[in-house]
Structure 1
Amino acid sequence: MNRILRIDLSKEKISDEKPRRDWALKYIGGRGWGARKIWESGIYVDPLGPENLIFFASGPLTGLLVPSAGKMTIVSISPATRIYADSSVGGAFGAELKQAGYDAIALRGISKKPVYIMIDDGNVEIRNAEEYWGLGALATEERLKKDIGDEGIYVLSIGPAGEKLVKFACITSDYGRNAGRTGMGAIMGSKRVKAIVVRGFRDIPVADVDRFMEIAYDSFNSIYENEFLDIWQRQGTLQVIAWANERGVLPTRNFQETMFEHAEEIGGDKMEEVKTTDRACFACPMTCGNYCVIREGDTKVVVEGPEYETAAMLGSACGIKDLKTVIKANNLCDDLGIDTISSGNLVGLLMEAYERGILTKEDTGGIELKFGNDEALLKILEMIARREGIGDIVAEGVR
């Protein structure tokens, strides 16, 4: 513990840094710590250039048995806004990083070729990733686990969108947990880092174990006794679809409306029909990650979620009324490595422009980009992530 892993990709140099005690006390948690590191590193840099630092930081409780102790924050200068940005990711990567002996990872420079970083219980290697370049983020995680021969490792990976520097590319972990916002996947792609793999077996020291466990026990009990726990476990954030629609604040057809007549078809009650089990981030009793499976013929699509933001932006904001289509789009975004919120927002914008006659089939590559067109949604997401046709323009995002 109490180490920052520093990697200069341009020089292929790996080193350790001792965190400053005054910073640790002053900036509690990975987000504050990361913000100070970015400030010290330099904020007036090209977000996709070698000087931009990307900092992966755990918090003081990450990896311990307290609620929601699996979170990790990724901090950098965003390619979408060119200012400071951070994005959080759940799952268990942050906890495993702590158990591998590191509190944080600092990446700088640009690798000469595609690589992945292997952190194996304190031992660090930069490995060739050319065979994984071009794969989806989910496929990369699956392949790495198979090739390394350990299903117990944890992976952060990018998809084609990150490789092609889509400004809202995300970083994916744990088969669908995402650092979705602010384009962190594009920064990894610019550095030619396909993935970061971690495996750790170390205990995390606690100063007063008895007192710590007493507080942790109280924290868990406060959640177990909460009257809203049941609905959160059954539907997760997707329950918010009905709430938002009833109050007239649900993004609908690119925010032209705030109520969706088919809200119940993409909400929590409908999701329970295709949900197979609950899933949780590390040490979290909420288990709000709804594991959904849809089958069409020989095809099976598995996704954790969708979350409210995903169903709103890829569903009602695009006029999509079929939850199965939302789930397919969610899975596609996870594998392509693009943020579902930004993607849905942009597709909704394109659909409105198409319906108003501002865009034509000539602009869209023959796609009838109308609200509610399920196939058009899936096709345009592919084009954005791969920078094909009009997708190349949309991949730059909006401000």
Structure 2
Amino acid sequence: MKMESEHNIDSLGLLVADHISAMLAYWDKDLICRFANAAYIDWFGKTREEMVDKITIKELLGPLYEKNIPYIFGALKGENQTFEREIPLPSGCLRYSIANYFPDIVDGDVRGFFVHVADITPIKILENELIKSNETISEQNKRLMNFANIVTHNLKNFAHGFSGMLELLVETDSTETQTEIIEYLKTISNNFTETIKNLNEIVHVQNMSNIEPIVINLYDYVVKAISTLSMQINDSNAIIKNNVDAKTIILGNPAYIESILANFLTNAIKYKHPDRAPIIELNCVAENDDVELTISDNGKGINLEKHGKDLFGMYKTFHGNKDAQGIGLYITKYQIEAMGGQVQVESEVNKGSKFIIHLKQK
């Protein structure tokens, strides 16, 4: 009667265990399975006959065994163990679990350990989605800030050109000069309109993960940048040498290319050497799918030993100019890298700087 009662209790215990969603098992000190509920068996794609009193934990876990060794032997030392694990299923799917190993201690002797494993796959999926969502929001905020900075920088360049030309227009009585200034203003106005168009395109793709690049004639954009900055170039007596081949093609974003060229050219003029007129040279070499654009000047130069690591940092300035905001190079580097490119700098104090920009052709 007693044996029948114990058998009924065992059967009831197994019935209850099989209806629990968590995975339950018991491994003896020889690491042989002595009990496993339905969830545990199903997880590993086994049958109860294959598991109980037959399989070792090493055979069951396979490659995961090495990772679980510290927890297994920790439990056999009488210490509770808790850890998370990614477990590949026989079907090829990946599941996430949190496992607990509880030592079975009788009179100070560890006879084995109980296993409780909870499937936390839904929680992990939600966690990963939240992480991705946060990353997306962070990236969108970064793009929004970058967009605002592009607008500020680009519009400041146009405003400077407009105001300078309008002052000249008011001051001169020469019809010929007035006509020439009006033509300059038309050019700046056309470039301004094109820039607004490109910036509007960026606004429309702010919710996209990447801004789609288009085919751009680099030479045309260099000419356009020089034209837009003609007032600053004339005021500083700068000499611009555009050696970019007229057929040079790159893949990029028009607004980014405009902003990059404007920033480098403006900086070369702004940080000109006080004892000489600026000479700014643009050269280009195309090799395989890469275009290397170099923009060099004979300006003040930068102490790279002192400022090199901060050169492309936000709000970093190096020459003490009152109007320096310290975001131009930061924006420029971000834009270049956003198009899959890279930028490096070579510079020597009182001799000048050379920026090497790598852009994609495909």
User: TM-score when scaled to structure 1?
Assistant: 0.19
Larger RCO (alpha carbons 8 Å, 6+ apart)? 1
| Larger helix fraction of residues | 2
- Which has the greater radius of gyration? 2
